[in-house]
Amino acid sequence: MKNLQRIGKQIAYILRHNPGNLKMNNQGYVKVEDLLTELNTTKDILDEIVRIDNKGRYSYDESGEMIRANQGHSIPFVNITFQELKPPKYLYHGTSPDFIKNIKEHGLLKMSRQYVHLSENKITAEKVGKRHSKEQPPIILVIDSLKMYEDGYKFYLSDNNVWLVEHVPPIYIHF
């Protein structure tokens, strides 16, 4: 299991942040065969990692010959087309208490990613927040997403049900 986790982290890094020598298209896909060679692993192991990933981070193309991360890219040329949708009334974002002062001043910023990631439920937001808040319990922010949408902000839903938006101004955040 630890080996699968290690390989899974490598896959996430390669497909979201640094393809290295792998040829990646503007939709974030790389050839499965090339990824397997890079990772020195098998298709069976890759399939298992994709299958058990509880966040649904990866998807194959229709042919099964290409794979990508569904969102979270910091690679500038990757431009995945997401479905624009009307969000639910509220969405959630988990974060560290260390970031609250900055968020109150600037809102939620995408930083090196292409979008701010939001969750439909507090449980998922808490899990995400725990990754950024090791010493203290995470803070769960409530985003007035429907009001943002009505005010002209565009929301997108990724293939693995992560809500995406370019910025969340402080006025729409309940602390």
pLDDT in tens, the chain (175 residues): 678 889 999 999 999 999 999 999 999 999 999 999 999 999 999 999 999 988 888 999 999 999 999 988 889 899 888 889 999 999 999 999 999 999 999 999 999 888 999 999 999 999 989 987 788 999 999 999 999 999 999 999 988 899 999 999 999 999 9
State which amino acid sits at residue 88. Answer: P
- pLDDT of res. 112: 85
- d(C-alpha 125, C-alpha 47), whole Å: 27
Q: Is 149 helix (H, G, I), strand (E, B) or coil?
A: helix
- pLDDT of res. 159: 83
Pick the closest to residue 160 from 7, 5, 12, 42 (CA basis). 12
C-alpha dihedral, 132 to 136 to 142 to 143, nearest 10°: -30
Pick the closest to residue 160 from 71, 95, 50, 29 (CA basis). 71
- pLDDT of res. 13: 95
- Positive or negative, the CA dihedral 56, 62, 65, 66 is negative
- d(C-alpha 31, C-alpha 63), whole Å: 11
- pLDDT of res. 157: 94
**DSSP secondary structure letter of residue 119:** B
- pLDDT of res. 140: 97
pTM greater than 0.85 (yes/no)? no
Pick the closest to residue 67 from 39, 42, 35 (CA basis). 35
Inter-residue contact 129 to 95 (CB < 8 Å): yes
- Positive or negative, the CA dihedral 83, 92, 59, 29 is positive
